[in-house]
Amino acid sequence: MNLASKYYRPKSPRGGCDLDRTITFAEPADEETLRTMFTAAGMDLAGEAEEHVVLRDGANILAGGRLYQADEDLFHLLVFAVAQGERGRGTGRRLMRELCERPWEYCRDAVEPTGGTFRITTMAKGESAAFYKRCDYRECEASLLPPPFDSQCEDCPDCEQCGPVAMVYSRT
Ligand SMILES: CC(C)(COP(=O)(O)OP(=O)(O)OC[C@H]1O[C@@H](n2cnc3c(N)ncnc32)[C@H](O)[C@@H]1OP(=O)(O)O)[C@@H](O)C(=O)NCCC(=O)NCCS
């Protein structure tokens, strides 16, 4: 069942004891805040604001990301970032853990994989690969990423400086 909806809110936010922290889809009004967070991390919004999920503490957005379902059992994480002042406190791990647990709930127009197994791929910027490894991703060939993401860095002039690392999380 596809639980994704504009105002979907998980019943019990996991991974911490602060009950003011929730993980929801972003709303249109969050666009500027999200854009500021992603551009500070060298990225940008990946589509409409409402396609992203955000971890909030009350009214403040602490972290966000956008998943895309490429196939029933294959998701791709297009962008993921934690607000600058919030890094290094376990916030990224908390949001990532939730996304990896039930990616279809945090992805617009997604369906739950029927077989119970799935993969999430992403292209990490070099320095963030260590974070992904701490979140149980492993390095993989870029060809494992769904198109067009398998070749997204090929013609990028910043590729050498960025040091992209293709990564995959597998739920078996
Ligand atoms: C990378 C990022 C998402 C990590 O979020 P965070 O909230 O700071 O990470 P956490 O505090 O949850 O750290 C979880 C673990 O990853 C490790 N980690 C996080 N960032 C790391 C880094 N840059 N280098 C090495 N290890 C890192 C932490 O030490 C921690 O390890 P532990 O299991 O030993 O405790 C965040 O720093 C960020 O937004 N960076 C800029 C954007 C970016 O690079 N996004 C990734 C998409 S390419």
Tens of pLDDT, residues 122-144: 999 988 999 999 999 999 999 99
Within a domain: residue 2? no
Give strand pairing partners of 170.
119
User: Pocket residues for ligand 1 (CB within 6 Å)?
Assistant: 41, 80-82, 87-93, 124-125, 127-128, 130-131, 134
Question: Do residues 62 and 34 lie in contact, with contact meaning Cβ atoms separated by under 8 Å?
Answer: no
Ligand 1 atom closest to 92 (CA):
7
**87 CA distance to ligand 1 middle (Å):** 7
Distance, CA of 3 to CA of 74 (rounded, Å): 17
Within a domain: residue 10? no
Closest residue (by CA) to atom 31 of ligand 1?
134
Identify which of 128, 133, 162 to mutate to test ligand 1's pocket (most ligand atoms within 8 A of the CB).
128
Range of the domain at 125: 21-171
Domains contained in the chain, number:
1
Closest residue (by CA) to atom 16 of ligand 1?
131
Question: Do residues 108 and 65 lie in contact, with contact meaning Cβ atoms separated by under 8 Å?
Answer: no
User: Which amino acid makes up residue 23?
Assistant: I
Distance, CA of 96 to CA of 4 (rounded, Å): 17
Question: Residue 2: pLDDT above 90?
Answer: no
For 6-10, 32-36, 88-92, which range has the lowest pLDDT when averaged over its residues? 6-10
Residue 33's alpha-carbon distances to 62, 70, 71, in angstroms, are 10, 27, 30
Domain of 159: which CATH number?
3.40.630.30
Classify burial at 75, counting beta carbons within 10 Å of its beta carbon; exposed 0-12, middle 13-18, buried 19 or more. Answer: buried
Question: Do residues 144 and 166 lie in contact, with contact meaning Cβ atoms separated by under 8 Å?
Answer: yes
Closest residue (by CA) to atom 37 of ligand 1?
87
pTM score, two decimals? 0.90
Within a domain: residue 15? no
Question: Residue 6: pLDDT above 50?
Answer: no
The average confidence (pLDDT) of the chain is 90
Within a domain: residue 101? yes
Distance, CA of 15 to CA of 37 (rounded, Å): 22
DSSP state of 146: P
Closest residue (by CA) to atom 32 of ligand 1?
134
pLDDT over 90 percentage in the chain: 78
Within a domain: residue 27? yes
Question: Residue 160: pLDDT above 90?
Answer: no
Query: What integer is the mean pLDDT of 14-41?
Result: 86
Closest residue (by CA) to atom 40 of ligand 1?
81
pLDDT for 92 equals 98
pLDDT for 18 equals 65
**114 CA distance to ligand 1 middle (Å):** 31
Tens of pLDDT, residues 67-118: 999 999 999 999 999 999 999 999 999 999 999 999 999 999 999 999 999 9
